Amino acid sequence: MMSLQVKPVIDEQELARFLGAEDSPSFSFSTTAKIERWVKTIETALRPSVCYCVKKIESVSRDAVHLEDGLPLRSRNLAKTLRLCQEAVCFIATVGNRIEGVTKRCMDTHRYSDAYIVDAMASVAIENVVEQFQQGMAAQCRAQGKAVTLRFSPGYCDWNLADQKKIFSLFDPNQVDVDILGSCFIVPRKSIVGIFGICPAHNGISKCSYNPCNECSKLDCETRRGDNLS
């Protein structure tokens, strides 16, 4: 198991999307003022970290990916994505639990709009942590003539949320700053568990470019992805 620190960036356009203003990425004066007021507090409260391990893929069937030691991850879309991969990167990322305290203080003092904004900023932060991590791994792979696939998390597409426990089983719980409850609820809440594959590349272009969103008719899905790494 390996770990690293990533400094999250809260992108304004992504924040607008989390705040429900995707079609109009500019904020009102009052919202802008609140965001600026919370930036330093949030930056201080965030405790970002990523723990990850690289596992060999033993086999890929029609409906499942089997990691080394026979650990099965059951998802047809994941299997299609990793079908040409020999390795997979499993990760657990978080921005820590101090940000929850900031949100709770806002709620306890009836500053509900502030709580909503703080929560959205924390969501953007954890997504950015994972994106930076994957981009960094992608750069390392390119130097080795390899590439990475799209990343998946349990609960996404057809992958059962219960498989989060299988990902957690790959890590020493004493070295991971994230806990999983029996209900599969993750603590701290602003955490992400996931996987992406490492595959061959030709002239820097991945041979594993499958994207299940291209076959899905749900065009209004909030997690719909284009042909990129995220």
Q: Could you check whether the bond before residue 200 is cis, i.e. omega within 30 degrees of 0?
A: no
**pLDDT value of position 31:** 87
- 127's CB contacts (< 8 A; 6+ apart) are 14, 192
Q: How many residues does this entry show for the chain?
A: 230
pLDDT at 162 over 80: yes
Q: For residue 81, what are its two tokens?
A: 């994505």
% of the chain residues with pLDDT over 70: 85
88-143 pLDDT, tens digit per residue, is 999 999 999 999 999 999 999 999 999 999 999 999 999 999 999 999 999 999 89
**pLDDT value of position 2:** 82
CA distances (Å), 114 to each of 17, 38, 56, 100, in order? 17, 8, 44, 13
User: How much is the average pLDDT of 140-154?
Assistant: 92
38-92 pLDDT, tens digit per residue, is 999 999 999 999 999 999 999 999 999 999 988 899 999 999 999 989 999 999 9
**Top mean-pLDDT range of 2-6, 26-30, 126-130:** 126-130
192 beta partners: 93
Residues 20-51: b if buried by 16+ CB within 10 A, e if exposed: eeeeeeebeeebeebbeebeeebeebbebbbb
**pLDDT value of position 225:** 60
pLDDT at 203 over 70: no
pLDDT band per the 50, 70, 90 thresholds, residue 230: very low
| Of 1, 2, 159, 167, the residue nearest 71 (C-alpha) | 167
Q: What is the mean pLDDT of the chain?
A: 87
